[in-house]
Amino acid sequence: MTETISLERLLQGCEAEKLHLSGAIQSFGAMLCLHSEGLRVTHASANLKDFVGVTPGEVLGRAGVDLPWFPAEQITALGAPTGQTLSVRGVVHDALGRIDALLIRGDGFILLELERNNTPVEPIALQHLQQSFISAPHNDEDMTHYHQALVLAFRRIIGFDRVMLYRFAPDWSGEVIAEATADGVGSYHGLHFPASDIPAIARNLYLVNPARMIPDALANPVALLGLGASVPDLTRSDLRSVSPVHLQYLVNMGVSASFSVPVRMAGQLWGLVACHNHTAQLLTPDQRNACVTLANTYALGLSSYIVGQRLQKIDRLERRIDAVLAQLAAYSDPLDGIESNAQALMETLNAQGFAVAIHDNVVIDGDGPDLDGLAHIDDWFVNQSKEFVFCSDHLVDVFPGSLQVLAAASGMIAIKAKTTRSGWVRFYWFRQAEPQHVAWAGNPNKPMLENAGALTLSPRRSFDRWVENKSDYSRPWSMEEQTVAAKLRSNLLRWL
């Protein structure tokens, strides 16, 4: 019990880790933080001299405009809202090449990131690469090719050993749905990763940042030195230092450099393009920006396809529902109509069992719980559940130990509505258990606690294929089926 509690505490601590307040940056760049009023330098990275020839002590407390290389005009042009960014090329030229700047406006402060950009690379044929994403996919086969085109384009731009397209599930676990690799590199294609591999704090940062680069997982972080005890908010900084847990995670995977670009739809995180290299590698700003542009273009076609497919599925389901409701309207007694059309009602949501309860009257059809089992479910749904539309593909979570329920069904959609004519009306659709085999990159349930006495958290060490056999889950209910069930509930209020 002590070990379990400790592990849970450590996982909660990982989620609560304030990555944006680390007070350090990665060593591939330098940073200044300036107060918005007067542009006084409040923080400077310890490696500042390597980039602009002056030490932190020489700039702290000074006005940025007094520095000869300071991009004052560009800061004036920087937009007022928090989160606005502006790239400035060539703020400094020295014997080692050109240093570019990125301006980031925060709440009451401005971050000035400095980075060398003198690595010669072949010009990126971005417009040519975008051609693959101009037309939205039309079917599942097109969508598969669309996914693969994205990872191939990324790999062409950055040359990393592995590029994966990683799609999040509703529980925030993920699956690699497309992959491009160098010769001799093992594959993660089709494997799943647990939600804990990318915790909520990291996912939230992907919602506000266009990309995340870690060019060297073994490099030491660089401290931000300041005038006081406070540290700047590095939420929007790509230079932000990396969580030690994540660095160890990369090392355990044999990864020295990583680059990730979020795929967002309607303001939500849909997935990631995750890129891994076995040796340290710094990408140029042009390479990173090209990848971000491709991911955004890809997301437009992806969104168009998903929305179109969803509308088509909902339309087909609604037509089924409307046809059944039209049949029910011919009956003066709603229960007679439901009993005569129970099979059709069951098929509307692709269920294997169906039941309805009005007052003390019950109709049961297909494969599902018997009267005793349904009574147990109905009592819970009416008296304990606060949801009017309930959905589960794992009823053991709701009815643990109830053999009369679990022996007959593992999945259920339930709706209830209080009507003027009939009082509380409850509809139930059931699905039976279907064996499922989920391939994971390593055992997702393996304890992450390496030393309970020291209360340390270590990420998984194995990413070998591990197959989980799930025997008490039904086929999941689609979002479209849940949407149509909710619409049917609205119709019940008018019909019954």
Give the separation between CA 431 and CA 376, rounded to whole angstroms: 17
Instruction: Provide the residue type at 468 as one letter.
Output: E
**Fold (CATH) for 329-434+474-495:** Beta-Lactamase (3.30.450)
Backbone angles phi, psi at 106, to 5 degrees: -105, -165
Name the pTM for this structure. 0.81
Measured torsion, CA atoms of residues 364, 365, 367, 372, in degrees rounded to the nearest 10: 10
Structure-token pair, residue 166: 């990683």
Task: Name the 3-class secondary structure at 475.
Answer: coil
* Residue 180 CB contacts under 8 Å (≥ 6 apart), including other chains: 148, 151, 152, 154, 155, 162, 163
Give the separation between CA 320 and CA 404, rounded to whole angstroms: 31
Give the separation between CA 426 and CA 371, rounded to whole angstroms: 14
What's the pLDDT score for residue 113? 95
CA geometry: angle 152, 158, 162, nearest 5 deg: 60
Instruction: Please state the length of the chain.
Output: 496
What's the pLDDT score for residue 322? 82
What's the pLDDT score for residue 12? 52
Which secondary structure element, helix H or strand E, spans residue 377, and what is its range? helix 371-383
CA geometry: angle 333, 334, 340, nearest 5 deg: 95
In contact, 405 and 468? CB cutoff 8 Å = no
Structure-token pair, residue 388: 């009017």
List per-residue pLDDT tens for the chain, 496 residues long. 333 334 344 445 555 567 788 899 999 999 999 998 889 999 999 999 999 999 999 999 999 988 888 888 888 888 778 888 888 888 887 767 788 999 999 998 999 999 988 766 677 888 888 888 888 899 989 999 999 999 999 999 999 999 999 999 988 999 999 999 999 888 889 888 888 888 888 899 999 999 999 999 999 999 999 988 788 999 999 999 999 888 888 888 889 999 999 999 988 999 999 999 999 999 998 899 999 999 999 999 999 999 999 898 888 888 888 887 777 777 777 778 888 888 888 988 899 999 999 888 899 999 999 999 999 999 999 999 999 999 999 999 999 988 889 889 999 999 998 877 777 889 999 999 887 767 666 666 654 444 434 333 445 555 666 666 677 899 999 988 998 888 888 877 666 6
Selecting from 1.10.3720.10, 3.30.300.90, 3.30.450.40, 3.40.30.10, what CATH number does the domain 11-307 have?
A: 3.30.450.40
What's the pLDDT score for residue 31? 96
CA geometry: angle 151, 156, 157, nearest 5 deg: 100
Same CATH topology for 11-307 and 329-434+474-495?
A: yes
- What is the residue extent of each domain of the chain? 11-307, 329-434+474-495
